[in-house]
């Protein structure tokens, strides 16, 4: 094992473990410590915490390095998924990418939610949950597109309930056979020592299922950022009007600040896309660059929960109280507390 792979294992073990811890803490606060007035918006935060937790878990399991070579794409996995096999590593990788894209779309919707409640009544809890389900559909389709055995799995589910057969079917044909991948890698990149490596991947990135998934992962980042900037500008413009009380403006400004900091995080996603594109187009190849792709993606679900833990006052207070030994204390209500009612021009909306 070379130094880059060793560093990758240390990085993923540390970063992904912390990310899982942060998201579990945030989810606990959402479920048990959310003020009643904040329950609707907390659905968005809880959805993000669950998604990011599973993204960190998947990243920890695979600890992967993406190696694009010509028109082929290979994945070197160094995580615990190796115990089960390369197909399972690939399946976990596909699931992880779906979590990343879902988080990206939910971030955009978080800005729209803030914009919406400044003009109209907020969504009901049921409607918000249905919207989240709808937002998850593109990521679900992406996951299915990366798995060519989907129809076989459905067929087998109807034919048998034998768990071992079902598990094997779920993993079969998830990616191209290793005996096809290794000769390509040895021919085009003989400098790589693949002895003992757990390898999965694709012989041809132009295969329509894979190409569709690649486009869905790489292309939305630009329009999503544009949408975020437009919504942020409109929110700031509305907050600058005189029709709102100073208390209302302060509350909305604080929540806007939280999701604005979160909006910087997808910039890491852009760096990951750039490093992957650099290798796939053949501009430059290096193990560090190939490792950096997943590094960039993996920081998103680790850092994102910290924004909510810091900027949302009740959650921040409970975290501080927990570490100071005062977990049983009651959240103080002051003139600056964000658990007060907020009246907008169209309706009364209550936020944290």
Asked if the structure places residue 343 within a domain, the reply is: no
Asked if the structure places residue 313 within a domain, the reply is: yes
How far is the C-alpha of 335 from the C-alpha of 332, rounded, in Å?
10
Phi then psi for 245, rounded to 5 degrees?
-70, 160
- The Cβ of residue 316 has, within 10 Å, a number of other Cβ atoms equal to 15
Number of independent structural domains in the chain: 1
- The Cβ of residue 179 has, within 10 Å, a number of other Cβ atoms equal to 7
The pLDDT score that the predictor gives to residue 331 is 57
Asked if the structure places residue 339 within a domain, the reply is: no
The pLDDT score that the predictor gives to residue 330 is 55
The pLDDT score that the predictor gives to residue 175 is 64
The pLDDT score that the predictor gives to residue 165 is 47
How far is the C-alpha of 191 from the C-alpha of 100, rounded, in Å?
32
How far is the C-alpha of 161 from the C-alpha of 138, rounded, in Å?
29
pTM: 0.82
| Contact criterion met (CB below 8 Å) for 346 and 119 | yes
| Contact criterion met (CB below 8 Å) for 351 and 38 | yes
Closest-CA residue to 264 (of 227, 310, 293, 300): 300
> 55 CB contacts (<8 Å, ≥6 apart)?
19, 96, 99, 100, 103, 298, 300, 301
Asked if the structure places residue 74 within a domain, the reply is: yes
Q: Which domain holds residue 135?
A: 3-329
The pLDDT score that the predictor gives to residue 333 is 46
> 205 CB contacts (<8 Å, ≥6 apart)?
68, 71, 72, 73, 211, 214, 280
Closest-CA residue to 115 (of 5, 245, 2, 255): 255
Asked if the structure places residue 123 within a domain, the reply is: yes
Full pLDDT tens readout for the chain, 352 residues: 678 888 889 999 999 999 999 999 999 999 998 888 788 989 999 999 999 999 999 999 999 998 888 888 899 999 999 998 888 898 899 899 899 999 989 989 988 998 898 888 889 999 999 999 999 998 888 887 766 544 444 444 444 444 444 444 444 444 677 888 888 888 888 888 888 888 888 888 888 778 888 888 888 888 988 898 898 888 878 777 766 667 666 766 776 776 678 778 777 878 888 888 888 888 888 888 888 888 888 888 999 999 889 888 889 898 988 887 655 555 554 433 443 333 333 333 333 3
Asked if the structure places residue 340 within a domain, the reply is: no
Closest-CA residue to 49 (of 128, 103, 114): 103
The pLDDT score that the predictor gives to residue 257 is 75
Ranges assigned E (strand) in the chain: 64-69, 72-77, 198-202, 341-343, 348-350
The pLDDT score that the predictor gives to residue 126 is 94
Q: What is the CATH number of the domain that holds 292?
A: 1.20.1070.10
Asked if the structure places residue 127 within a domain, the reply is: yes
Asked if the structure places residue 338 within a domain, the reply is: no
């Amino acid at each position: 094992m070379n130094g880059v792979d060793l560093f990758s294992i240390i990085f993923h073990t540390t970063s992904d473990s912390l990310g899982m811890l942060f998201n579990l803490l945030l989810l606990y606060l959402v479920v048990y410590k959310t003020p009643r007035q904040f329950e609707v918006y907390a659905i968005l935060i809880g959805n993000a915490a669950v998604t990011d937790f599973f993204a960190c878990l998947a990243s920890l399991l695979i600890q992967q390095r993406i190696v694009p070579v010509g028109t082929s794409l290979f994945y070197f996995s160094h995580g615990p998924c190796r115990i089960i096999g390369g197909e399972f590593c690939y399946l976990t990788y596909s699931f992880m990418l779906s979590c990343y894209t879902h988080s990206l779309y939910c971030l955009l919707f978080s800005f729209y939610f803030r914009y919406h409640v400044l003009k109209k009544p907020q969504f009901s809890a049921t409607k918000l949950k249905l919207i989240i389900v709808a937002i998850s559909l593109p990521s679900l389709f992406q996951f299915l597109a990366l798995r060519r055995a989907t129809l076989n799995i459905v067929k087998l589910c109807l034919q048998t309930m034998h768990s071992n057969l079902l598990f094997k079917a779920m993993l079969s044909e998830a990616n191209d056979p290793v005996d096809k991948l290794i000769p390509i890698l040895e021919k085009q990149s003989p400098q790589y020592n693949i002895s003992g490596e757990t390898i999965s991947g694709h012989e041809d990135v132009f295969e329509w299922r894979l190409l569709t998934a690649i486009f869905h992962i790489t292309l939305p980042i630009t329009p999503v950022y544009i949408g975020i900037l437009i919504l942020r500008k409109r929110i700031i413009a509305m907050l600058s009007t005189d029709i709102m009380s100073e208390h209302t403006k302060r509350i909305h400004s604080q929540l806007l600040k939280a999701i604005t900091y979160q909006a910087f995080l997808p910039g890491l996603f852009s760096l990951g896309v750039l490093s992957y594109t650099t290798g796939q187009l053949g501009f430059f190849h290096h193990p560090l660059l190939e490792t950096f792709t997943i590094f960039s993606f993996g920081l998103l679900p680790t850092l994102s929960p910290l924004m909510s833990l810091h900027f949302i006052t009740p959650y921040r207070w409970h975290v501080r109280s927990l570490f100071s030994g005062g977990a049983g204390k009651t959240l103080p209500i002051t003139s600056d507390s964000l658990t007060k009612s907020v009246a907008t021009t169209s309706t009364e909306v209550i936020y944290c």
